[in-house]
Amino acid sequence: AQSVAQPEDQVNVAEGNPLTVKCTYSVSGNPYLFWYVQYPNRGLQFLLKYITGDNLVKGSYGFEAEFNKSQTSFHLKKPSALVSDSALYFCAVRSYTSGTYKYIFGTGTRLKVLA
């Protein structure tokens, strides 16, 4: 079965410090991985994706993610955190079952950037 795990419920980081939000996955075949961000009272917004190619993927708002096949991980990173980055972050993997694409989401990690 395909799955995604976000091992940390919350990550705290000081403004200006680098941040990492962890995600590991389990899929059969090639992984298609996504990161989304959710601000209060809003829907999920797409940040970045890994389909194929370079292991370092760059996305919106200065975020990037590193795909590591041997560790089955897709960690979200940013070199210098902003208070405005505080939000809920979801990792997702796209699965293909019975001719249909579906998305499996992790449980989310709340990022708090402290001024």
Tell me which residues touch another protein (CB under 8 A).
9, 32, 34, 36, 41-46, 49, 51, 90, 96, 100-103, 105-108
Closer of 108 and 113 to another protein (Cβ): 108
Question: What does the block give as tokens for 44?
Answer: 């999920």
Handedness of CA 16, 74, 87, 37 (dihedral sign): positive
CB atoms within 10 A of CB 28: 9
Output the smallest distance, CB 80 to another protein, in A.
25
Q: Which is nearer to another protein, 66 or 105 (CB)?
A: 105
**Smallest gap from residue 6 Cβ to another protein (A):** 8
Tell me the C-alpha distance between 76 and 82, whole Å. 15
